[in-house]
Structure 1
């Protein structure tokens, strides 16, 4: 049980922004966590922590094109689904699914920072594969459905099975299975009910990975479905022993805002919650925005994080849709600047040059100093090719452009002098709708937020944030804010992203 062992609290989510399907492993005093990355390259962000609360991204597992083959026209929300990370016999192992190319595969590494191996493909159905080793050293893989198989992870061979396991309580999409040996039991934890508001975590146990499986009498062990809790869609969880010696759960959840049905704009995020055990079963939740923490307290960083492009390599937080050709960007052509070479003429189709960062704060400020040269470039806040707002500079003017489904509209325009220009995008609380023709509307905004576009301190336009939400755009990702070029070459001197109220 989690008693009053510590007197500090942490804020959820512990990894904010589009970081879904978390999986975690412990190696000594260190914790390593990975998340789904879908159609973005590099894939599978990798985080390190000593207390399960303060996480730092140390790399991406799939950081070479050979590890992450994606078709140039791979659909948004395809790509890499639900990795599992484990440490066994002195080596790190990761299994995941490329739904766009090849299916399930395994990579491994001696060190979490890599290099990680090329994929070892394995002929197993479904998505969301898991790895667990028994006392004899045999490796077991569970997968969506739910089934289990005994495998050789080095050769990618199925040695036994697949064997039908426990498929949950009858809700849709039994998925995200994880196997654990705890005491005398093997536990099988799954998600079901779909990854939307009906999401749940359910448990079963057996004496061996082959079953038979006994469901928990109080399933689901965690859900927020049908509640007014500010945290929703709780599910797709993993268990780990924390620095306090107790079990903790990492899981995905969302923070919807705005009028019914509510809109979550950052995607599914990584939350942390304590786990108690009663009569041999876990007791979890509800998952709160503020929880009592494990380990020792440390202040949480609230300042904006800035990149001056002075390092010899890109920060691992930078991602690009589908690929990032070497000739599409450079840190050395103009020292201290990020060069962007256009590879496509529009953000409305795959193939453009865009380097972005996940939006991490519901109320945020993102700014960049951009030199468009003689080309066309800007700052975009996006969910996919059909849902993005752009602050674009070309031909001596800056435009605010909205792409919402089949509609593309220039919302505002303003002349700017030649040379570098400071572009700013903020996301803030929704209040009244912006004025129309200079006149207040008096209408309430039902959106989750308002997205504002500035050149320096000058406001050009405000747009409704609901159109850049999962509930409108659909899919499994969240907002990404990025620098792009669609004509010629542009350069960025710096980029920063942080809370709207950051000092």
Structure 2
């Protein structure tokens, strides 16, 4: 479905749960990577030639040696990262909070689509949101937000690094700590002209989120704060896009500058609810008096083609498919007659094959043989589901510690199509949520509604955490055969 172009100030270049964007350019090619938290494979990576149209080319962390599982719980795993190209190689540095004491994780590749190398761990840098840069002499510098547990407070730290071994060359030292707002984090360093610029995210990744910047004569500082800080924020405004911050700048192929940043699209009555997680937006960047100036309305975006239908006939899974806390090969197997066998995870993890929800209104369907479950979830304690098993379909809601079965209906035959849709709230609601979630099932043509639920309970404002909604396909008995999965924006 072709949709009309809109301003990049109001529509993301990568919609859905793709937060903490980091970008680099090689010639006329741009590459964009994201945090992915507990979902494996981790760190999705995209390619573009124009900064506004992006295609996923893979996931960076495809092996458990690169992304150690740890606890595998909600909002754990892979946090903020930096993607750079240096000396003929792509470099990606990130934090796996599930393996926190191992320090920062560095992988490299000649082809950003992979394969990526085995990891180098920086055990002396305990914290989050690492950045890699190289000074004028070619020496590598690691900058990160330190963990208070390391005795450095809530500090932005830096150290000279041997990236091949993960060892420091000298002691770590503090850099600019921001403007005094809460949670200074997400440092990135850039060489622009004769100066070095350090950007931070401040204010927390909620409504107070913003981007601040400082500059100095070298990457180690000292840094002076921009008099116009914050250089990007939507806090205390009625802008339809909120929580804007965590930016990464990139020089463009035409000699200009741009920035990617995360933000959310809240809906519904106060405090408003965002359900897709933190998404990736794009702004132009100008330079005035030696400081970056964000132009959010510079780019026009043709909304992404988010629809898909997958009958699992290709030899490998599309990179959209991820698993929380486990691996796709643990819970899936190709069936000789087509489709995908789904089985419970033997290790007690959720055992769900997931794809991110990418639109505010949409419909998803799953056709199962034998049995199966389709969930809409934001984490393991907040989800709505349809379960096909034993000749019936049951609708269920799980909110926190409360689980409740809704309506159920008979399913004749060996197959059933389960459908979940997000629609606008019922007109006239006194305190509307962001949407309503409709649970129904049928034979592919005729459907029966089993439940219609307020979508606010599957929002970050209710569930908390850092992730967004995903569609989850799972086993409900033996056998479970997923014949087809389909997703259509409305």
TM-score (norm 1): 0.90
Partner residue, 1:114 = 114
* Contact kept in structure 1, 2:306 and 2:358, CA below 8 Å: no
Over 3 Å counting, the alpha-carbon distance change for 1:9 and 1:223 in structure 2 is closer
* Secondary structure, aligned partner of 1:130: strand
* Secondary structure, aligned partner of 2:269: coil
Match of 2:465 among 468, 475, 480: 475
Over 3 Å counting, the alpha-carbon distance change for 1:303 and 1:254 in structure 2 is closer
Report the alpha carbon displacement of residue 396 of structure 1 after superposing the two structures with TM: 0.8
Partner residue, 2:138 = 137
Match of 2:309 among 306, 309, 318: 306
Over 3 Å counting, the alpha-carbon distance change for 1:413 and 1:40 in structure 2 is same
Q: Deviations over 1:329-361 (max 9, x none)?
A: 112x234301101226xxxx9513210100000
Partner residue, 1:466 = 456
* Secondary structure, aligned partner of 1:128: strand
Q: Distance in 1 between matches of 2:169 and 2:140?
A: 10
Partner residue, 1:491 = 481
* Secondary structure, aligned partner of 1:471: helix
* Secondary structure, aligned partner of 2:113: coil
Over 3 Å counting, the alpha-carbon distance change for 1:335 and 1:156 in structure 2 is farther
Q: Deviations over 1:380-413 (max 9, x none)?
A: 0001111011111111110110000000001111
Q: Distance in 1 between matches of 2:336 and 2:229?
A: 58
Match of 2:266 among 244, 256, 263: 256
Q: Distance in 2 between matches of 1:227 and 1:276?
A: 23
Report the alpha carbon displacement of residue 426 of structure 1 after superposing the two structures with TM: 0.6
Report the alpha carbon displacement of residue 301 of structure 1 after superposing the two structures with TM: 4.8
Structure 1 portions without partners, runs of 5+: 1-6, 433-441
* Contact kept in structure 1, 2:353 and 2:472, CA below 8 Å: yes
* Contact kept in structure 1, 2:436 and 2:455, CA below 8 Å: yes
Partner residue, 1:17 = 16
Partner residue, 1:343 = 345
Partner residue, 2:46 = 47
* Contact kept in structure 2, 1:148 and 1:209, CA below 8 Å: no
Aligned residues: 469
* Secondary structure, aligned partner of 2:90: strand
* Contact kept in structure 2, 1:431 and 1:445, CA below 8 Å: no
Q: Distance in 2 between matches of 1:354 and 1:55?
A: 26
Partner residue, 2:128 = 127
Q: Distance in 2 between matches of 1:392 and 1:118?
A: 40
Report the alpha carbon displacement of residue 475 of structure 1 after superposing the two structures with TM: 0.3
Partner residue, 1:61 = 60
Partner residue, 2:430 = 444
* Secondary structure, aligned partner of 1:111: coil
* Contact kept in structure 1, 2:73 and 2:325, CA below 8 Å: no
Matches within 5 A, 1:267-282: 267-282=277-292
Matches within 5 A, 1:74-473: 74-101=72-99, 102-122=102-122, 123-144=124-145, 145-285=155-295, 287=296, 291-293=298-300, 300-302=303-305, 304-324=307-327, 326-331=329-334, 333-343=335-345, 351-371=349-369, 373=370, 376-432=371-427, 443-456=429-442, 457-473=447-463
Report the alpha carbon displacement of residue 245 of structure 1 after superposing the two structures with TM: 2.6
Q: Distance in 2 between matches of 1:486 and 1:369?
A: 13
Report the alpha carbon displacement of residue 95 of structure 1 after superposing the two structures with TM: 0.3
Over 3 Å counting, the alpha-carbon distance change for 1:271 and 1:367 in structure 2 is same
* Contact kept in structure 1, 2:37 and 2:77, CA below 8 Å: yes
* Secondary structure, aligned partner of 1:487: coil
* Secondary structure, aligned partner of 1:220: coil
* Secondary structure, aligned partner of 2:457: helix
* Contact kept in structure 2, 1:51 and 1:243, CA below 8 Å: no
Greater shift after overlay, 452-461 or 18-27? Answer: 452-461
* Contact kept in structure 2, 1:342 and 1:488, CA below 8 Å: no
Report the alpha carbon displacement of residue 486 of structure 1 after superposing the two structures with TM: 4.1
Partner residue, 1:438 = none
* Secondary structure, aligned partner of 2:461: helix
* Contact kept in structure 2, 1:233 and 1:254, CA below 8 Å: yes
* Secondary structure, aligned partner of 2:169: strand
TM-score (norm 2): 0.92
* Secondary structure, aligned partner of 1:472: helix
